[in-house]
Structure 1
Amino acid sequence: MKEDINPKAPATPEAICAMAATHQLYLQPDSFEYNETGLDFQVIHAKDTNNQDWILRVPRRADVLPRARNEQKVLTLLKDMQAFSVPDWQLFEPELITYPRLEGTPVANIDMEQKCYIWNLDHENLPETFIASLGKAIAALHATNTAIAQQCGLKISEPKLVRENLKLQMQRIKREIGVAEELWQQWQAWLHDDSYWPAHSCLVHGDLQAAHILTDNTGTVNGLLDWTEAEVSDPAIDFVALLAAFGEQTTKTVLEAYEQAGGKVWPRMLEHIQQRHASYGVNIGLFVLESGTDVYLPMAKEALGISS
């Protein structure tokens, strides 16, 4: 079993301030505001001695560091993106990541006790500017040159490999955790039906949920956070969390905006997104297995249809 918390992570504001100071970042320890919702990183909002706002990320476990290195590559690739802003990392050490806080407000924050979103945007009456700008942002991301992404060292999965990797992940989950037979058969039917699947891959965010989307005061998307899962893969991945949070009709309208902005769609794209959502238990199960923590095992079993 791996450690739940990276033992090298600074334990106090003073320790974090001391580490930041060695890189000429001078923070106010009494300004720290903690966000414990992330599975991989503790997030701290802080101010420096000039009252500039910073985001500090402290890795919770050693196994998250390879994904952090992946994120650094992605942010370098996307630093000049016009459709949205991304974090500009000023410090990347195994114990601490820092960047100036981006403008904008998350669409939602996560309430860990209630396991639900606390909405900052009216999710039942989303402004048209949010729909249009989100579709445009995803289309711009997906249009990123994949050859350059490969040169940057990002993981590249062409369509055939996407399906093969998912097949192996499903088999591992069934073997090591279990899955309800009906759900397993649904996965297999989807996995082997070519009509669901795209003929192309693109750069995806990988975890495009409400807490990772920033908007301005008009509801326009102006920033995207947390790129640890980014890779070249199935474009539908970036619509799954939207379907879960906002429902089918909103997902359709975002897809329309995405297509209008140049995003590539295919006839069964929405159905494919729905099937990806139905396989969410694979993602949670893999997190449990790879992190070595059982905290989310009950959630994984529920998503896999085997909760007691």
Structure 2
Amino acid sequence: MKESINKPAAPAAFTSIAQAQGLHLLPETFRYNETGLDFQVIHAQDVKQKNWILRLPRRPDVLPRAQNEHRVLQWLQGKLPVSVPDWQIFHESLIAYPRLAGTPVANIDMEQKCYVWNLEPENLPQAFITSLGEAVAALHTLDTEAAAQAGLKVYQPEQARQKLETQMLRVKKELGVAQPLWEQWQSWLRDDSFWPSHSSLVHGDLQAAHILTDENGKVNGFLDWTEAEVNDPAIDFVALLASFGEETTKTLLQAYEQAGGNVWPRMLEHIQQRLGAYGVNIGLFVLESGSEEYLPMAKTALGLDN
């Protein structure tokens, strides 16, 4: 395993980088958020009392994905009905952008490894479901050819399936997968009726901590676009299904379809299958980050905890 780098950043180093870019931060205002697996996050103010978000890479392996995220965010500016970060500093040691308005649907408790909810997951406002469906539909109906021309990663439907199969094989080889789960994955991979005939630009990690809402529960921002690419649109519903359950996901898909999202007959079942393969994502994180901390979670998700 690679050594994981997870040390608090020295303020002097990145305040100097920010100052060189014309951003004069006040170190006494720094509030540290350690919940991110790939980036340490700091809330800060500048000398004009403007609020900023600072992101500091935890490991070298996150830098290529940060470069991808930068391209995505540059291309997305002004294209969605919700706000996205506007990176005004992009350096290998520091990313900085003005803080977006809104409150995350949930925060992450790192000690307990669970959500602390700001909206009640079992009593979500209709405004949340409608606006989330609209925002995801707007993202998924963006021009993928234009995205490709802007340098974004593009996986056509068959390529998306092949990519997932390659990831599954790597996880099986390097960590292992319980045989019944492996057989379930293979059956799903080979059944065309589950799979979409189109690809969409996806956020890639659309979970509660990355969705901002206003005081009425209306979605007004998406954070953390590290995994964004053109891929299977079902990807953006997996964490939502895990958090909110099947009935809310059905309602969300209706709002998504009404807003122009492309829904196919077995989309919900396909999302459920993707959730059942979530061990692939955790396994890949362990392999690519070198973090032993999440190995037990990966083994559980891969059916290897017995």
* TM-score above 0.5, yes or no: yes
Matched residues in 1 for 2:174 and 2:222: separation?
Answer: 34
Deviation per CA, 1:21-69, whole angstroms, max 9, x where unpaired?
Answer: 1111111101111111111000000011111100000000011001000
Give the aligned partner of residue 203 of structure 2.
205
Give the aligned partner of residue 167 of structure 1.
165
Matched residues in 1 for 2:89 and 2:269: separation?
Answer: 41
| Aligned partners of 1:138 and 1:258 also within 8 Å | yes
Matched residues in 2 for 1:272 and 1:230: separation?
Answer: 20
* 1:283, distance to aligned residue in structure 2 (A): 0.5
| Aligned partners of 1:6 and 1:62 also within 8 Å | no
Return the letter of the residue paired with 1:65.
Answer: L
Matched residues in 1 for 2:223 and 2:299: separation?
Answer: 28
| Aligned partners of 2:137 and 2:257 also within 8 Å | yes
Identity %: 68
Give the aligned partner of residue 3 of structure 1.
3
Q: Gapped runs of 5+ residues in structure 2? A: none
Matched residues in 1 for 2:90 and 2:180: separation?
Answer: 45
Report SS of the residue matched to 1:56: strand
Residues 236, 126 of structure 1: alpha-carbon distance in 2 compared, 3 angstrom cutoff: same
Question: How many residues get paired?
Answer: 306
Return the letter of the residue paired with 1:34.
Answer: Y
Is 1:42 the counterpart of 2:36 in the alignment?
A: no
Q: Gapped runs of 5+ residues in structure 1? A: none
User: Which one of the candidate residues 284, 287, 290 is aligned to 1:286?
Assistant: 284
Give the aligned partner of residue 63 of structure 2.
65
Deviation per CA, 1:169-195, whole angstroms, max 9, x where unpaired?
Answer: 111111110111111111111111010
Return the letter of the residue paired with 1:242.
Answer: L
Return the letter of the residue paired with 2:134.
Answer: K
Report SS of the residue matched to 1:80: coil
* 1:3, distance to aligned residue in structure 2 (A): 3.2
| Aligned partners of 1:6 and 1:59 also within 8 Å | no
Is 1:217 the counterpart of 2:228 in the alignment?
A: no
Report SS of the residue matched to 1:92: strand
Return the letter of the residue paired with 2:4.
Answer: D
Matched residues in 2 for 1:11 and 1:198: separation?
Answer: 43
| Aligned partners of 2:80 and 2:139 also within 8 Å | no
Matched residues in 2 for 1:275 and 1:153: separation?
Answer: 30
Where does 1:16-27 land on structure 2 (aligned, <5 Å)? 16-27=14-25
Report SS of the residue matched to 2:215: coil
Give the aligned partner of residue 150 of structure 2.
152
Once superposed, which parts of structure 1, at least 4 consecutive aligned residues long, lie more than 3 Å away?
A: none
